[in-house]
């Protein structure tokens, strides 16, 4: 699966996501709509979208699916 994740981080620059961020990514990985994820986390849909964008920004990625793949490759999901 080359080309999915941009080469923006190396092994010397590890990124750690909070357990809350990982929980959000796990729920998104199931394919649930944003509103369903928000209900399960007791958040608004807007907050879920904002947190998802923050995760992507932290990882240097442009799309939530890239963050899910990033976490899956690291066996965090």
Over residues 11-65, the pLDDT tens digits come to 555 678 999 999 999 999 999 999 999 999 999 999 999 999 999 999 999 999 9
- 19-73 architecture in CATH? Orthogonal Bundle (1.10)
The pLDDT assigned to 16 comes to 86
* Confidence category of residue 4, pLDDT binned at 50, 70, 90: low
Rounded to 5°, the CA angle 58-60-65 comes to: 95
Sequence-distant (6+) residues with CB within 8 A of 1 are 69
**Can you give the pTM of this predicted structure?**
0.80
- How far apart, in whole angstroms, are the C-alpha atoms of residue 38 and residue 52? 11
């Amino acid at each position: 699966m080359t080309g999915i994740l941009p080469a923006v981080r190396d092994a010397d620059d590890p990124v750690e996501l909070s357990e809350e961020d990982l929980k959000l990514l796990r729920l998104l990985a199931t394919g649930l709509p944003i509103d369903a994820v928000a209900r399960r986390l007791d958040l608004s849909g807007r907050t879920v979208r904002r947190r998802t964008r923050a995760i992507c920004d932290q990882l240097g990625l442009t799309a939530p699916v890239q963050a899910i793949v990033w976490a899956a490759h690291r066996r965090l999901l």
